[in-house]
Structure 1
Amino acid sequence: MDSEPPFEEAYKSLLVKEENSTEVKLSNLLEDECQLPVIDLSRLHGSSEVEKEECKREIVRASVEWGFFQAVNHGISQEVLKKMRHEQVKLFRQSFEKKSGNGSGEKVSGLPGDSYRWGTPTATCLNQFSWTEAFHIPLADVSKSIKSSNNTTLSLTIKEFVTKASSLAQIIAEILAENLGLKSSFFRESCCPNTSYLRINRYPPCPLPFTVFGLMPHTDSDFLTILHQDQVEGLQLVKDGRWITVKPNPEALIINIGDLFQAWSSDVYKSVKHRVMTNRCLERFSMAYFFCPSYDTIIQSGREPAIYRKFSFREYKHQIQEDVRTTGSKIGLLRFLL
């Protein structure tokens, strides 16, 4: 199909080494399946103070023990999620030339021209490579598109989804902050839809499913991530030193802690390494809302003893980009230890 990225052609030099890639192959043997903690968020808005406080405790417990949890009755309607999925599928079915902007024809309307990503341009070996295509979208650009009357169905649907996702992220962040005895208004002052990002993902069928990652192991560089995925298994995370497979739940959103919350909480909440595995026969779709501050926001440990030196979000992003460019991998918070 002309919509498919040319993975095998572009990354031939990496893929021919697959017989020697034992590190990736062996990592796939260390898997268990799990059901992440499932938390009913409707209790936060009910009349029972007892249930509200119990819900908050469950959010805190999951964030401490897992760094991940599943949220049901989360306030984002199935109608909105279905509209997003419909637009997502339409987006990726467009020609590769149009998505990538390599052709002379029309580019994807309503999205910034440089938002499309595929593969891993910086990869120097197979375990640094991701078999995925995505649109990584600064939400400030979506707002600009709407204000300029470039009101595509896609941009309007994204706006509807991220408005709800931002509100949900604010609620979760404030609960986690209050548990630490820290200023919960920090997030309303520093994070908003226009400083956050949306990544719309597609994982095409892969002829080497036990050799190539859909998305290589990583932690997220934000405060919180809100993920909506389809029913094709693929997401895995590290728990107690082992890779475990997350069983998809059609009713739930997945919420996980990012690096900034780990730094801000002095390691009370953990940003957990996770990855996506490929599938030989099935494509997989997901979308992730990254709850981020403005670039000038200072991230400073709020609990003593401080573990990390203070840094701006701009500095953190720059350091990640430099490390990926020079080493092929993200180093992350280890760079900012005191």
Structure 2
Amino acid sequence: MIESNPPLQQHYGRLLQESGKGHQNRSSFYDHNHHSVIKECKLPLIDLGGLESCDERQRLACSAAICKAASEWGFFRVVNHGIDSELLRKMRRGQVKLFDMPFENKATCGLLNNSYRWGTPTATRPNQFSWSEAFHIPLSKISEPACWGEFNSLREVINEFAAAMLRLSRLLAGILAENLGNPKDAVEKVCDESTCFLRLNHYPACPKSEEETFGLVPHTDSDFLTILYQDHVGGLQLMKDSKWVAVKPNPDALIVNIGDLFQAWSNGEYKSVEHKVMANNKMERYSTAYFLCPSYNTLIGSCTEPSIYRKFTFGEYRDQIQDDVKKFGHKIGLSRFLVQDTNALMII
């Protein structure tokens, strides 16, 4: 077998053998994730230029569209978002160059603060495995030139990219907070450039059928907001009305989705929706995700009462996720933090 970069095929093949080619001991948690996609959807498309309009009705309509999408879909697309198209192109060029490095270099040279990840080390079954590689970068580390080596120019691009994403995420978070009767800076106060993360994703072409293999396993995001810059290939799917729908790619728009922390903070008004990426058997895919996160000691509590979630810190939430993944092979998430006893609610 020819060794791939990274060695996804070798690891996935071992999981297939150990699990009887994936047909035995499958977790009920993942069974629904193999149902056929019902349709290709067009997410709500919101022109953020409306927020700059001289017409107050247009400004209010734009804000209302953002809040409605956050409540009904948990996902939406934005255009006229204020991020320069050339900056996005530079980000993608640097990302492609980074992933073109030999696997050994990516895995062992400590590049980008040892942030390289590939596959799913905790997977015990094929349906827990992600056919992808990524650099998951804490933005508190990007100012350290020593960890960038020959990619110091990429560090400069990421600095600019992260600053633009922070501005956009704060703008959207402010609108969502105000809609619930809170100060516009309620989320901004606990999220800054040092607490957020950037994830550079690469999904190599997969020789398996794209119906069978996850590029990224089903999950919800553990932040306030995620902003995604993706290419034209597609593969992103989300859960809508208990059915998987495929998101039609639009490289001219950024995708925004609500994270677990915003769902808890909004007391369930905004929805953190399960989503996944399906592997493509012909084309590789790139995406860049910006995660609006607070510090680990930030206390997350619902902004209205009675609260359906107990208060927890971001650090406590992350630790619980890591424990659950080790024990059960998947994230359980917010159901762990419901006010009522959740033992009967968990599907393991």
Query: Which TM-score band applies after superposition, normalised by the shorter structure?
Result: over 0.9
SS in 1 for 2:187: helix
Deviation at 1:305, TM superposition (A): 1.5
Deviation at 1:186, TM superposition (A): 2.2
Deviation at 1:51, TM superposition (A): 0.9
Q: Label 1:44 to 1:326 Cα distance change in 2 as closer, same or farther (>3 A).
A: same
SS in 1 for 2:143: helix
Asked whether the 8 Å contact 2:226–2:292 carries over to 1, the reply is: yes
Deviation at 1:148, TM superposition (A): 11
Partners in 2 of 1:128 and 1:158 — Cα distance? 30
Partners in 2 of 1:291 and 1:62 — Cα distance? 18
Matched, 1:55 2:81: no
Partners in 1 of 2:287 and 2:104 — Cα distance? 22
SS in 1 for 2:227: strand
- TM-score norm. by structure 2 comes to 0.90
- Residue by residue, what CA displacement relative to the aligned partner does 1:102-134 show, whole Å, maximum 9, x if unpaired? xxxx553xx11x200000000111111110000
Name 1:306's counterpart in structure 2. Answer: 307
Question: Which shifted more, 44-53 or 137-146?
Answer: 137-146
Asked whether the 8 Å contact 1:139–1:195 carries over to 2, the reply is: yes
Partners in 1 of 2:12 and 2:4 — Cα distance? 17
Asked whether the 8 Å contact 2:3–2:10 carries over to 1, the reply is: no
> Alpha carbon RMSD of aligned pairs, Å?
2.1
Asked whether the 8 Å contact 1:225–1:256 carries over to 2, the reply is: yes
Matched, 1:224 2:231: no
Partners in 2 of 1:18 and 1:34 — Cα distance? 32
Partners in 1 of 2:137 and 2:216 — Cα distance? 18
**Residue type of the alignment partner of 1:198:** L
Deviation at 1:8, TM superposition (A): 2.0
Q: Label 1:146 to 1:66 Cα distance change in 2 as closer, same or farther (>3 A).
A: farther
Matched, 1:73 2:76: no
Partners in 2 of 1:28 and 1:77 — Cα distance? 38
Q: Label 1:240 to 1:94 Cα distance change in 2 as closer, same or farther (>3 A).
A: same
Structure 1 segment 44-193 matched on structure 2, within 5 A: 44-101=51-108, 108=111, 111-112=112-113, 114-145=114-145, 152-193=152-193
Partners in 2 of 1:240 and 1:169 — Cα distance? 26
Structure 1 segment 7-26 matched on structure 2, within 5 A: 7-16=8-17, 17-18=20-21, 20=23
Q: Label 1:144 to 1:249 Cα distance change in 2 as closer, same or farther (>3 A).
A: same
Deviation at 1:50, TM superposition (A): 1.3
Name 1:5's counterpart in structure 2. Answer: 6
How much identity, in percent, do the aligned residues show? 52
Deviation at 1:217, TM superposition (A): 0.3
Structure 1 segment 257-296 matched on structure 2, within 5 A: 257-296=258-297
- Residue by residue, what CA displacement relative to the aligned partner does 1:157-184 show, whole Å, maximum 9, x if unpaired? 1111110000000010010000001233
Partners in 1 of 2:213 and 2:172 — Cα distance? 34
Q: Label 1:334 to 1:95 Cα distance change in 2 as closer, same or farther (>3 A).
A: same
Deviation at 1:25, TM superposition (A): 9.6
Q: Label 1:15 to 1:3 Cα distance change in 2 as closer, same or farther (>3 A).
A: closer
Q: Label 1:49 to 1:324 Cα distance change in 2 as closer, same or farther (>3 A).
A: same
Kindly report structure 1 stretches of 4+ aligned residues shifted beyond 6 Å. Answer: 21-26, 146-151
SS in 2 for 1:254: strand
Q: Label 1:212 to 1:171 Cα distance change in 2 as closer, same or farther (>3 A).
A: same
What residue ranges of structure 1 are gaps of 5+ in the alignment?
none
Asked whether the 8 Å contact 2:33–2:218 carries over to 1, the reply is: no
What residue ranges of structure 2 are gaps of 5+ in the alignment?
340-348
Asked whether the 8 Å contact 1:258–1:271 carries over to 2, the reply is: yes
Asked whether the 8 Å contact 1:24–1:210 carries over to 2, the reply is: no
Structure 1 segment 25-40 matched on structure 2, within 5 A: 27-40=34-47
Q: Label 1:86 to 1:26 Cα distance change in 2 as closer, same or farther (>3 A).
A: closer
Q: Label 1:8 to 1:265 Cα distance change in 2 as closer, same or farther (>3 A).
A: same
Deviation at 1:31, TM superposition (A): 2.9
